[in-house]
Amino acid sequence: MATLKSFLVLTMLAFQLLCLGYLVHGSTTTIVPHEFIVCLNRNYTLKSHFEYIGKELNISHYLEIIDCYEIDFHNTTRTHDLSEESILDLIRSDPNVYSVAPEFAFSFDCMEGTCSPSPKPQSASSKAVLEL
C-alpha cells in the first residue's frame, strides 16, 4: 500500500511539474543557504532516525508521506547546540538516510495572468518564487 501511495504522489508531482513547464519560461534555480532537505529510507521513522543519531533535531517541516524533513540553520527561533556541518555529518552517519540535499528556490517569470490571483491585469512579466 505504501508503494502505491508513493507512486501516486510521485506521479502527481511529475504531472504538476510537466504542467508548470508549459506555463513558465525563464526559470532560474538558486540554493537557499543553510537549509537542507533530508529524506529517509522507506519505512524508517523520524523517531528511529533521532534515536540512531542520539539527538532530536529542531526541524522546520516533516512530510511523513515521503519520509523527508527540512532543517533550517538560519532560522533564529530554532537553536542547535552543534555547528551546521557537525549536524549534517551526524545526519549523514545514519545508514537509513537516503539523501541530504540543499533546499532550492525556483524563481520564474510567468506568462500573463498565470501567476496572479488578482483579477486586475498584470504585466507580461510577473515574478514568483516557489520553494521545495
Tens-binned pLDDT, residue by residue, of the chain (132 aa) = 567 777 777 777 766 665 555 555 555 677 777 889 999 999 899 999 999 999 888 888 898 888 899 998 876 555 567 788 889 999 999 999 999 988 877 665 565 555 544 333 334 444 444 444
Which pLDDT value is given to residue 126? Answer: 40
Which pLDDT value is given to residue 77? Answer: 55
Q: Which three cell numbers stand for residue 19?
A: 504542467
- pTM passes above 0.85: no
Edge-to-edge strands of the sheet including 97-110?
61-63, 68-72, 24-40, 97-110, 126-131
Which pLDDT value is given to residue 51? Answer: 95
Which pLDDT value is given to residue 107? Answer: 65
